[in-house]
Amino acid sequence: MITLKSAAELLGSIPDLTLETIFTFALLATSLKDDIILTQPATHDIDEPPLFLPPSIVTFLSGAC
């Protein structure tokens, strides 16, 4: 399990990344979870993250965050 400290260390090398941006991304991504799941094969385990996000979700999150 990832801890907040280890996440901060990993993300610390990304320029201009703020805690606000991280929380905005997490909030929006969790709100879009059902839309993301709908694009996965029916056999996909919803407890596992998908390997790829749909282009529309990537475009939206990129612009919003």
List, for residues 2-15, the tens digit of each pLDDT value.
787 887 777 778 88
* Averaged pLDDT of the chain: 85
Determine contact, residues 65/24, Cβ cutoff 8 Å: yes
Has residue 11 been placed in a domain? no
pLDDT value for 1: 65
Mean pLDDT of 23-29: 87
Angle at 8 between CA 55 and CA 47, to 5 degrees: 50
Determine contact, residues 17/23, Cβ cutoff 8 Å: no
Cα 1 to Cα 12, 17, 32, 58, distances in angstroms = 18, 22, 23, 25
Has residue 3 been placed in a domain? no
- Give the total number of structural domains in the chain: 1
Domain residue limits at 32: 18-40+49-65
Has residue 10 been placed in a domain? no
Determine contact, residues 29/61, Cβ cutoff 8 Å: yes
